Structure 1
Amino acid sequence: MKNVNEQKKYNHLLLDNKVCVIVGGGSLRSIGYATAELFAAHGAKLVLLDLVMNEEKAKEATNAIASQIGYTPEIICIPCDIRNTSDCEKAIAEAVAHFGTIDCLVNCAGIVKSEGMLSITEEAYDLIMDVNLKGTFNICQSALKIFAEKQAGVIVNLSSLSAQRGGGLVGGTHYAASKGGVISLTKAIAREFAPKNIRANVICPAMIETSMLDGLSEQQLKDVVSGIPLQRVGKTVEVAGACLFLASDLSGFTTGATIDVNGGIHIH
């Protein structure tokens, strides 16, 4: 039988009083929102960033989280275009000014477009790359300035199964390439900043119940599901669970890792 001290060791919130910046939480159907809700349930203080964030969306997210966890979390919501370095700098500065520091960055922001290689215009290519890869770089760089100074911090970036298998599901070659860059970027951050006690890991989801599936017909979705060993698409909270693991001390010796959340559709 465990003694009282041993029992207490396991009876704590995984992110108690941690300040977590989550990018891409403007929609209640998003992985970013699901991550914010789960983190709040584990005691985190939240900073929600999104290009479309406004007073209405901030209130919607805050109320939704409060209704799920039973109280209103400490939360600030900031509009931020991660394509813009000054936006990222200002958002992180505002978070630090409000909470005193930041402890974790989870970047769920991303856009997708499905089109053949020969149909991709320069404008479409630049937009995908600017949001998915450059935007990830920008917000990571801004957060890392704080993490490097305090000699501690955690980064979780979202990539995609498309980066691992060369597309083939949702998203064109530019999308797959941008998400492949996110994997490499995260590994490089992990290697460079590990001596400063900063960890960085990446998650590669497959088909998840978000607005990204809205463009698929019922038959297309059925065809996709038939190829998934678990025979269903994933839930946003299941990706959020992987984010929670990587953000918490449970993964304290994990950095530079790629975590698959794909129902077994890609096993390697």
Structure 2
Amino acid sequence: MSFFNLIIKRSVCSFEAGRVALVTGAASGIGRSVCQILAANNLNVVVADINKDKARETSEQLTVGNGLTHCSLHLDVACGESVKRAVESVNKTYGTAASILVNCAGITRDGFMLNMSEDDFDKVIDVNLKGTFLMTKAVCQNMIDKAVKGGAIVNVSSVSGKIGNMGQCNYSASKAAVESFTRSVAKEMAMHNIRCNAVMPGFIETPIIHTVPEKLMKLLIKNTPLGRVGKPEEVAEAIVFLASNKSSFVTGATLQVSGGLFM
């Protein structure tokens, strides 16, 4: 039995039957692992990504049975119209709003500040921060309109947002802002019984990590108490916990999943 299958077997969280989870950036990495664990916990999963082919591939690999219906969506989180269409599609497919939103969509456009173009700065802010805002606003409003009880939003920050990172002034700024955004949303949405939390991954084995220079990566691993990079499913476990009823009295929190890096 593979390591991931072992993870799935012990990943039993508390969710009400028939719930729908919408995951952005779900075609690979952390987002894909989140989808797999949510589906294994008997949730209907909407796999949303700008890469529609990989989103469909992820959706087709999810656990089925128990009346589950999974689907994939082509979604550009930085585009308001695309976000609106995604929410409408969920309503049409399931007859209700998603009660769980996981904002995993994120990009990097690394470079030292003095060499960074305005376009590279804007693109990262648009996807990582504006995209989180657009998705959260649209899904929360839909939860309220559909009278969803006990909604949960989980955003993905980064340890880079906590410490800053050379060559990532755009990415670090966007992820720091996501954490502050999470706290504000938690305060505003509490009256609607919608919780909002964040995870703060360290360096995780995803496509984004391949943009980090090798020398820097070795230094970061050396400074990580657990002595390795993390696995996507290890972050996904934390996300699923924050989305589940097991964290029903947790909101406005950020859970660091970094192997102890920069505690």
Tell me whether the two structures share a fold, i.e. TM-score over 0.5. yes
Aligned to 2:161: 163
Query: Could you say if the C-alpha distance between residues 223 and 37 of structure 1 is closer, same or farther in structure 2, counting changes exceeding 3 Å?
Result: same
**Aligned letter for 1:108?**
C
Contact 1:159 1:183 in 2 (8 A): yes
> Cα distance, 1:125 vs. partner?
0.8
Query: Could you say if the C-alpha distance between residues 115 and 218 of structure 1 is closer, same or farther in structure 2, counting changes exceeding 3 Å?
Result: closer
Aligned to 1:244: 240
Within the candidate set 64, 89, 107, 2:61 is matched to: 64
Within the candidate set 136, 142, 165, 2:132 is matched to: 136
> Cα distance, 1:71 vs. partner?
8.8
Contact 2:37 2:236 in 1 (8 A): yes
**1:134-193: CA deviation from partner (whole Å, max 9, x where unpaired):** 11111111101112231531100001101111225xx51111111111111111110011
Aligned to 2:34: 35
| RMSD, matched Cα | 2.1
Q: Which has the larger radius of gyration?
A: 1
Contact 1:190 1:200 in 2 (8 A): yes
Alignment of 1:184-223 (within 5 A): 184-216=180-212, 218-223=214-219
Aligned to 1:5: none
Contact 1:159 1:204 in 2 (8 A): yes
How many positions carry a matched residue from both structures? 249
Cα distance in 2 for residues equivalent to 1:164 and 1:33: 25
TM-score, normalization by structure 2: 0.89
Q: Does structure 1 residue 17 correspond to structure 2 residue 50? A: no
Paired residue secondary structure (2:211):
coil
Contact 2:152 2:195 in 1 (8 A): yes
Contact 2:13 2:240 in 1 (8 A): no
Q: Which moved more, 1:31-40 or 1:172-181?
A: 172-181
Query: Could you say if the C-alpha distance between residues 206 and 81 of structure 1 is closer, same or farther in structure 2, counting changes exceeding 3 Å?
Result: same
Cα distance in 2 for residues equivalent to 1:129 and 1:49: 19
Aligned to 1:95: 90
Query: Could you say if the C-alpha distance between residues 164 and 58 of structure 1 is closer, same or farther in structure 2, counting changes exceeding 3 Å?
Result: closer
Within the candidate set 76, 81, 86, 1:81 is matched to: 76
Aligned to 1:26: 27
Q: Does structure 1 residue 260 correspond to structure 2 residue 256? A: yes
- What runs of 5+ residues in structure 1 fail to find an aligned partner? 1-11
Cα distance in 2 for residues equivalent to 1:121 and 1:61: 34
Cα distance in 2 for residues equivalent to 1:75 and 1:52: 17
Query: Could you say if the C-alpha distance between residues 34 and 72 of structure 1 is closer, same or farther in structure 2, counting changes exceeding 3 Å?
Result: farther
